[in-house]
Amino acid sequence: MKMFTKAQLALIFLGIACLIGVVTSIAVNSLITDQIIFEAQERVKEDLNTARYVYNSKLRDIDRTIYWTSVRHVLKKGLKEKNISPIRDELAGVMAQEGLDFLTLVDRGGMVVFRFHNPSSIGDSLLQDIFVKTALGKKEVSGTQVLSGDELSKEGAALAQKAIIQSIPVPKEKPARKIEETSGMVLKSAHPIIDFNGEILGALLGGVLLNQNYEIVDRIKNIVFKDAKYKGKEIGTATIFLGDLRISTNVMDKEGNRAIGTRAMKEVQEQVLGKGTPWIHRAFVVDDWYITAYEPIRDIQDKIVGMLYVGMLESKYALMKEKLILFFFFFSMSGMLIALTISFILSYMMLKTKT
């Protein structure tokens, strides 16, 4: 009877200790998981702010270049005298120094006077372009715009060719009928050219094509993530999307190439492009899970035309979580072992006192 009672008490103490250990482990696991995910999401929110700043900084640089070029006397004189020879030399210098992909001069009627990369394509009207229309109304304007393949071709065959991206299927994407993208997303600025009497002479517009241009995304990665890697893979990545299509990215595919032509996860596309709200959550990116932040990119007419993304490998945080849980489990089990030892000692002393 004595041995049965001793075993019974020991089992009771053991059961209580195990129950406490299990409940505590579950609670701590949930707490650690929630806290790590929360911290990671807060970080990608901050990273997205940085990405937006870099994107807008590039746009401001372009706008500054177009402005200072538009106020040069040689452009005003050339437009007045209808002599494009000095204009050609002036714009060639701007293109070389500032790295613009296109630069176009129009007269007060919106007719093209000169295209740097396609000098033979002149005389067509750009009045339907909101940038030109705004500039000829004596207002400067800058922003994001999507140009069709035909519109890009007028600026130069090489530019139109660079914009072409083949769609590459990846898991969890929303199926798309379009297998080849010929449109291009551009950062663009336009400024009026005004003489000393306040008369509008024309407008100057220019910008850069973002399709297969990695300057912005790589600058974001270098500022935010440096060169941090996890198991040989970049921890942090950035992407610019045209719609849901990756047109500029440092996300790599399994072959080590930039994942140009792949698409965003279906749920991301539906929320960011469909509803116009940011996505701050985990997402499947090409071939792995990331803790991500996406937000819409809008053109100057407030239409959603793409997305800006930053993300960090989820596996790094999963490993961190596992280490913390194992660390707690070790101390939890040690505590349970100590509690079990004490319970045996107490039960033995209690039974010995009764006898």
Q: Mind listing the pLDDT tens digit for each residue in 18-76?
A: 666 666 556 555 554 555 566 777 889 999 999 999 999 999 999 999 999 999 888 88
Mean pLDDT to the nearest integer, 9-15 = 61
What's the pLDDT at 6?
55
What's the pLDDT at 3?
47
Is 145 a residue whose pLDDT tops 50? yes
- Of 6-15, 113-122, 188-197, the poorest mean pLDDT is in 6-15
Angle formed at CA 296 by CA 294 and CA 301, multiple of 5 degrees: 170
Is 187 a residue whose pLDDT tops 90? yes
What's the pLDDT at 293?
95
Query: Cα 165 vs. chain centroid, distance in angstroms?
Result: 18
Closest CA to 290 of 269, 264, 322, 271: 264
Residue appearing with tokens 């005003």: 76
* Residue 279: Cβ-neighbour burial (10 angstroms; 0-12, 13-18, 19+): buried
Burial 192-220 (b: 16+ CB within 10 A, else e): bbbeeeeeebbbbbbbbbbbbbbebbebb
Other beta carbons within 10 Å of 320 = 14
CA contacts within 13 A on the Cβ side of 109: 6
Mean pLDDT to the nearest integer, 298-326 = 79
Q: Which amino acid, 121?
A: S
Confidence of residue 323 (pLDDT cuts 50, 70, 90): low
Closest CA to 67 of 189, 197, 200: 189
pTM for the whole structure: 0.81
Closest CA to 263 of 168, 162, 147, 165: 168
Residues in contact with 350: Cβ distance below 8 Å, sequence separation at least 6, in sequence order: 9
Q: In whole numbers, what is the pLDDT of the chain averaged over residues?
A: 84
Cα separation, 264 vs 43, in Å, equals 21
Cα separation, 207 vs 7, in Å, equals 82
Cα separation, 325 vs 172, in Å, equals 30
Is 203 a residue whose pLDDT tops 50? yes
Altogether, the residues listed in the chain come to a count of: 355
Cα separation, 202 vs 45, in Å, equals 42
Residues in contact with 19: Cβ distance below 8 Å, sequence separation at least 6, in sequence order: none
Over residues 152-175, the pLDDT tens digits come to: 999 999 999 999 999 998 887 777
Give the domains, in start order, of the chain with CATH numbers.
34-54+215-313 (3.30.450), 58-209 (3.30.450.20)
Please give the full DSSP string across 93-126, using - where no structure is assigned: HHHHHH--SEEEEEETTSBEEEESS-TT--S-B-
